[in-house]
Chain A
Amino acid sequence: AQSVSQHNHHVILSEAASLELGCNYSYGGTVNLFWYVQYPGQHLQLLLKYFSGDPLVKGIKGFEAEFIKSKFSFNLRKPSVQWSDTAEYFCAVNVKGNNRLAFGKGNQVVVIP
């Protein structure tokens, strides 16, 4: 079945550590890729997106993600996290031309000061 997979649901790390969250999808065809962030008690906000072009995408707050088509992956990275990065991170995939956005199950990230 078509799906979006995020592993390591719970991630705990210290400030200044590097963060990498994996996202794999199983959809065929051309896709649009997104990472959304949900801070505690808040709504989902777009962190970054990939539609076409350079597979390395830079988003807000120092986050970046790399689309590797051969691996069906769109991993999120941040070289040095801050306490304020504590949040839930969701990968989402949209097949181009379709208005459905499929979400992964999220990664709960806790950054310890």
Chain B
Amino acid sequence: DTAVSQTPKYLVTQMGNDKSIKCEQNLGHDTMYWYKQDSKKFLKIMFSYNNKELIINETVPNRFSPKSPDKAHLNLHINSLELGDSAVYFCASSQVPVIDNSPLHFGNGTRLTVT
């Protein structure tokens, strides 16, 4: 019973391509997130959605576009991929948008390699 599941686990693609990463949570949480973990293992938030509404949009190139068709899903679409986009992308969810008493639950990550 995977709580937060991401697909694919690995994604290798060439520069300039467009790709998507999917995320689904079966925890009944209202809030979902995308985090990027760079080569130095530094985790940084990219986006957050609460009940399909965008509530956090950090300084991320507009080539990255999140889509939340419902509160259990948050997909990440990346246009015109660049070498610097290579990273591990983690999806996460929490019960409510305010983290008080509502820790994040993470997916297994998607390792994106751009060649």
Assess whether B77 is interfacial by the CB under 8 Å rule: no
Q: How far is the CA of A98 from the CA of B94 in the complex (A)?
A: 13
Contact residues, A88-113 vs B (CB, 8 A): 88, 90, 94, 96-103, 105-106, 108
Q: Does B34 contact A (CB under 8 A)?
A: no
Instruction: Select from chain B the residue with minimum beta-carbon distance to A34.
Output: B103
**A residues in contact with B56, CB < 8 Å:** 99-100
A106 proximity list for chain B (CB < 8 A): 41-43
| Docked pose: A108 CA to B44 CA in angstroms | 18
Most buried by A among B41, B55, B97: B41
In the complex, A68 has a CB within 8 A of chain B: no
CB < 8 Å neighbour of B41 from A34, A49, A88: A88
Is the pair B103, A46 in contact by a Cβ cutoff of 8 Å?
A: yes
- Interface size in chain B (residues, C-beta < 8 A): 27
The answer on a CB contact under 8 Å between A99 and B31 is yes
Q: Identify which of B40, B92, B105, B106 contacts A105 (C-beta below 8 A).
A: B40
Residues of A within 8 A of B92 (CB): 44
- Contact partners of B108 in chain A: CB under 8 A: 42-43
* A85 vs B36: C-alpha distance when bound (angstroms): 24
Is B11 in contact with chain A by the CB < 8 A criterion?
A: no
Given contacts A103-B42, A106-B41, is CB(A43)–CB(B100) below 8 Å? no
A18 at the interface (CB under 8 A from B): no
Q: Is B60 an interface residue (CB 8 A)?
A: no
Q: Are A99 and B55 in contact (CB under 8 A)?
A: yes
A51 to chain B, nearest CB (A): 6
- In the complex, the 9 A-B pairs of residues with the closest C-beta atoms, listed nearest first: A103-B43, A44-B106, A94-B99, A99-B97, A43-B108, A43-B106, A106-B41, A46-B103, A105-B42
**A residues in contact (CB < 8 Å) with B:** 32, 34, 36, 42-46, 49, 51, 88, 90, 94, 96-103, 105-106, 108
What are 5 contact pairs spanning A and B, CB under 8 A? A34-B103, A43-B108, A88-B41, A99-B97, A105-B42
